[in-house]
Chain A
Amino acid sequence: MLRFFAPLIAPLVGLLFVFALLWAIFMSPHAPAIHLASEEYHLAPKPIHYSFEGPLGKYDNQQLQRGFQVYKEVCSACHSMRLVAFRDLEEIGFSKPEVKALAKGWATETPSINPDTGEPATRKSLPSDFIPGPYANETAARAGNNNALPPDMSLLAKAREGGPAYIASLVTGYEDVPPDLKKEFPDFTVPAGLHFNPYFANLNIAMPPPLTSDGQVTYADGTKATKLQMATDVSAFLMWAAEPKLENRHRTGIAVLAYLLIATLLAFGAYRNIWHGKKH
C-alpha cells in the first residue's frame, strides 16, 4: 500500500497548490485596475550631479557651507536636524570660533533647566550641543504647520528614494496643475493648505514652496543664488548631514580594493603553482 501511494504524495501536494493558484487566477474576483493621476504625472528627480558621486567622489566644502547657509536661513525655520552637532560643522570647513559663534547665535536655544528653580528653561548653545530644532515637540510642530509634521532633516537625503537630487527637484518643482491633468482627471483637486508638486509621490505636498525667488540668500563667496543653485547646495549639505563619513569611506575603499587585488593575484599564483601538473 505505502509503496504504491508514497510516490503520489508529492505530486498531489503540488497539484493542490497549483489548483489554488488556478482558482485564484480564474475564479476569484479581481480588483479593478485603478488609474491614478499620481501614476501618470509623478516625475522622476531632475538629473542633478554632485561632486560626491562615484567611487572617488568628495564633498565640495564651499558648496556644503552655502548649503548650510540655506538650511540655516530657510529650512531651519520648520525642520530640525537633531543628529548633527554644531561641532560637526568643523568638518565642512568652519573654524572653531566660527562654530562657537554659530552655536551662540542660533535662532532657537538649547533646552535646559533653570539651576535655581528646576523649571524648564533654555540657554545659548555650545559647539558640543546638537542643533536645536525650531519646535519644542511634535504637537508644537503640527500646530504651527496646518497639522503637517516637517520631517527631521538629519537623514533626509538617505531616507528618500532618489536622495539629494529628489530633494533639490522637490523644492524647485512647485508649479500650477497642468491643464492636461485637469482634463484627464476632472476629480483631481489640490486640497486647501496643500500645494501641487509633481516630484512628490501623491502630487500634493503640505510644505509651501520654500525657495520663492532668486537671491533669497546672499552667498558670501559670490555665487549667484538662483533657486536651482540654492536647492542643489542645500541638498548637497543634507547628503553630508546624512552621510558625514562618505569621503572616508571612499578613501578606505580604494585602499582596501588595492590591497585585495594584489592579495588575490598572489593567491591565484599560489593556486596555479600548487595545481601545476595536476589535471583537473
Chain B
Amino acid sequence: MSFPWAEHYAPKHPLMRYLDEKLPLPRLVYNAVGAGYPVPRNLNYFWNFGVLAGAALGIQILTGIILAMHYAANGLVAFDSVEHIMRDVNSGWLIRYAHANGASMFFIVVYIHIFRGLYYGSYKAPREMVWLLGVVIFLLMMATAFMGYVLPWGQMSFWGAQVITGFFSAIPVVGDPIRMWLLGGFAPDNDALNRFFSLHYLLPFVIAAVIVLHIWALHIPGSNNPTGVEVKGPQDTVPFHPYYTAKDGMGLGVFLIVFSLLLFFAPNALGHPDNYIPANPLSTPAHIVPEWYFLPFYAILKSFTGNFLGIAAKLWGVMAMFGSILLLFFLPWIDRSPIRSSNYRPMYKWFFWVLVADVLCLGYLGQAEVTPTVVLLSQICAGYYFSHFLIILPMISKFEKPLPLPNSITEAVLGEPAPAAA
C-alpha cells in the first residue's frame, strides 16, 4: 500500500535500475521501511517497540544458531553441554547469557507492544488482521520459549515440561494419549528433549514469517497513532526513512543498554537456581515455577480451585489459561467503541490501567507460595481479567461519552486547525 503521496522509488545508478528490472528487492525495502512508507508524524516512543521486538528476535536467532553448534540435545549430556558452553567455548558464557536474557527482553518488549495496542485501540478496524497475526506471533513465542527453557535439562526444565504437558491430560478421555503423543513417552525424556530442540529451532523462523505477514497487513491501512484519528493527507505523515529510522535507532540503543545491564550484571536474576541442578525425575523441586513471562497465566491456571458444573477444577484452570490468551483473537469484535485511542475514552482509560495493575498482580501471585490469601487474591485478579475483556469492554461503549476528537493528526500536533497543505 501506500498513501497516494508516498515517494516513489526512482533508482539513479544504472546498476540499481538494472536490479530493479530483474529483482526489485531495493524497491520492496524502500516501500516497506524506506522513504516510500509514509507514517503518522505524531507517533510516540511506544511505537518503537515493534522494531525492538524484531531486533530481539534477530538477537535470539543469531545467538541460538551459535548455541546449537555447541549444544547436544541428549538427556545424558544436555546439561553438561550447556556447562561446556559456559566454561570452555570461547565467549560461550556471553552467547548463552545473551540468549537466556534475550528471551526475557523479547517478552518485555512484546508485552509493552501489546499493551500499547490495547491502549491506543490498534486492534480495531481496519487493523484487525494486524492484531490477529500479532496474537499468533505471541502464541508461537510462548511455545518457543517454553521449549527453549527445557533444553538445558535442569530441574526446572524437566519439571516445567512435566507440568506444562500435564495441562493436556486435563482434557477428558483423549487427554492422556495426547500428552503421551506430545512427549513421546510417559514422562519427559530423551524423545521429548529431541523434538523440543527440533521445534525450538524451527519455530523462530515461523515467527519471522508471520512477522512478515504482520508488517504486510500493517502497511495496508498504515500505522495507527496516539490520537487514533486516521491519516487525512500528506501533512499528517512523514516518510519512514529518515524520520522513524532515526527514532528507532535511538530506541534500539536504549534497548541494548537495558539488555546489557541484565546480561552482564544480573544474568541469573530472572532465572531459577533449581535449573543449575541436573534434571532428576525422582526428585521434585519444592516450588515449580515457570519463567516470569508465563506467571500471569500460571496464576490464572491455579486460581480455579473448585469443580463447577461437573467439570473438574484442573480442566477449568486449563480452559481459563488458554482462554485468557485466545480471547484476544476476538478483541476487535468484542470492543464496539468506534474510538480507538484511550486518550479520548475517559471510562475505558481507567479500566485499562486497572487491567495493567491486574496483570502485574497476577504475575506476582503466579510465583508466590500458595497460601489461602494468595489463592483468594489470584481468584479476584483472574475474575477481573475475564470481566475486563468479556463483560466490561463490550458494555462500556454504551455508557461512555468520548471526548471530542481532533479533526486531524496535524491539528492535534499543532494545536490549531491544519493549514491547507504543509
Contact = CB atoms under 8 A, between A and B. Distances in A.
Interface in B252-268: 252-254, 256-257, 260-261, 263-265, 267-268
Nearest to A242: B276
Nearest to A149: B283
B42 interface: yes
Contacts of A256: 260, 264
B390 A267 contact: no
Interface stretch (A22-30, A106-114, A182-190): A22-30
B386 A18 contact: yes
B265 A83 contact: no
A267 B249 contact: yes
Interface residues of B, number: 66
A249 B267 contact: yes
B83 interface: yes
B94 A249 contact: yes
A142 B389 CA distance: 55
A185 to B, nearest CB: 19
B42 A280 contact: yes
B305 A24 contact: yes
Contacts of A17: 320, 323, 382-383, 386, 390
Chain A, interface size category, equals 35 or more
Contacts of B273: 158-161, 163
A164 B43 CA distance: 48
B372 A30 contact: yes
Given A28-B307, A158-B276, A267-B246, A15 B263 contact: no
A155 interface: yes
Interface stretch (A70-78, A212-220, A258-266): A258-266
B277 A20 contact: no
A7 B334 CA distance: 8
Contacts of B414: 279
A82 to B, nearest CB: 9
Question: Chain B at the A interface: mostly helix, strand, loop or mixed?
Answer: helix
B308 A23 contact: yes
A268 B393 CA distance: 39
Contacts of A155: 83, 276-277
Interface in A149-167: 151, 154-155, 158-161, 163
Nearest to B247: A271
A19 B387 CA distance: 11
B286 interface: yes
B71 to A, nearest CB: 16
Contacts of A83: 80, 83, 87
A257 interface: yes
Nearest to B238: A278
A210 interface: no
Nearest to B249: A267
Interface centre among A21, A83, A201, A244 (most CB of B within 10 A): A21
A46 interface: no
Contact of B391 (A11, A30, A244): A11
B313 interface: yes
A24 B277 contact: no
B394 A21 contact: no
Interface string A137-181: 000000000000001001100111101000000000000000000
13 contacts: A7-B394, A10-B330, A15-B391, A23-B308, A24-B304, A24-B316, A155-B277, A244-B87, A245-B86, A249-B94, A257-B260, A267-B249, A280-B41
